[in-house]
Chain A
């Protein structure tokens, strides 16, 4: 569907622009210039955040913490192998995709851990990146409660995933 959606949107914008006698090429390039400014303001956030995430991931800290809390998470219906996914998800999407791949390899793609991990991955976003990039682009220094809300909502999404997989699959 996405294959048709994007060209349709672009075509509609240009066609309506021409019909409304907008100088389409000028607005396109003007906007593009604005996009470049936005890009410049998010690059420092990308570099710094990815550095911190890389250090955290490669140190094995997530696996340790997951080991400590796995007795509690098992009570909630989250298998030990899935706990690191829940921990890393808010900071790195590509890392959890790799972990999901591994879980499917080990348990099979139709097993409970694989389905749960897949639903968790599909129902959440990389909260920390989104916040760093969006607030970075707008030049916001004080982010209020945004991170707290994002992380608590991620936590809730993981618990809802357990319920949804148990009841709907």
Chain B
């Protein structure tokens, strides 16, 4: 599926470059992206390495497990396949909390850790488990309390009340998260019938 998306972007891009006569731009953008992706990767490296260290320490002192115990009653219904009291509940909750408070930098390393734990639970298989798909559905729906970058841009343009988008954005993202969970349930049910 990711291959299909990748192929779609690349091939439609080239076809439109021929139609629009923008092949020179496309060529330039392609080579530029290679440098940009490494810049992005490097800017991510320090954060990733630091936060994974913090998470490992939190795990060693039992904090992750304590958090897992607290949020388990809530998350249990969404992730019925995760065994009771497993620390991955703590990672999932930390990731969601970090996203909610707009700490995107901290959220990614924690989320990646959660994903690897979920893979261990799935006997190291290379196919996404149901829990992984549910986790991704919640994660990409992106529930955020305050969309800071957007507010910063409104502020730059002199908006009268830049923070008035907080409520509508929160409502939209909560609704779409609920929708994502329902979709996830529907597709899981469809898979199980096959």
| B interface secondary structure, majority | helix
> Is A49 part of the binding interface, using a Cβ–Cβ cutoff of 8 Å?
yes
Q: Assess whether B1 is in contact with A143, with CB atoms less than 8 Å apart.
A: yes
Contact of A149 among B19, B144, B162, B184 (CB under 8 A): B184
> Is A66 part of the binding interface, using a Cβ–Cβ cutoff of 8 Å?
no
| B-side interface residues, number (CB < 8 Å) | 103
**Distance between Cα atoms of A18 and B188 in the complex (Å):** 43
Contact of B172 among A51, A119, A142, A147 (CB under 8 A): A119
Q: Which residues of B contact A (CB under 8 A)?
A: 1-2, 5-6, 9-10, 12-17, 19-20, 22, 25-26, 28-30, 32-34, 36-38, 40-41, 44-45, 48-63, 101-103, 106, 108-109, 111-113, 115-116, 118-119, 126-128, 132-133, 136-137, 139-142, 144, 147-150, 153-154, 156-162, 164-165, 167-173, 175-177, 179-180, 183-184, 187-188, 191
Q: Assess whether B49 is in contact with A2, with CB atoms less than 8 Å apart.
A: no
Q: Assess whether A134 is in contact with B144, with CB atoms less than 8 Å apart.
A: no
A18-37 vs B, Cβ < 8 Å mask (1 yes, 0 no): 01101010011111101110
Find chain B residues with CB under 8 A from A157 CB: 141, 172-173, 175-176
Q: Assess whether B2 is in contact with A132, with CB atoms less than 8 Å apart.
A: yes
Q: Assess whether A169 is in contact with B164, with CB atoms less than 8 Å apart.
A: yes
Find chain B residues with CB under 8 A from A53 CB: 9, 33
What's the interface size class on A, roughly? 35 or more
**Distance between Cα atoms of A56 and B7 in the complex (Å):** 10
- Tell me the chain A residues, 125-145 only, with Cβ under 8 Å from chain B: 125, 127-128, 130-135, 137-145
Closest to A1 in B: B101
In the A-B complex, the 6 residue pairs with the closest CB atoms: A31-B56, A122-B147, A35-B52, A54-B33, A125-B142, A55-B13
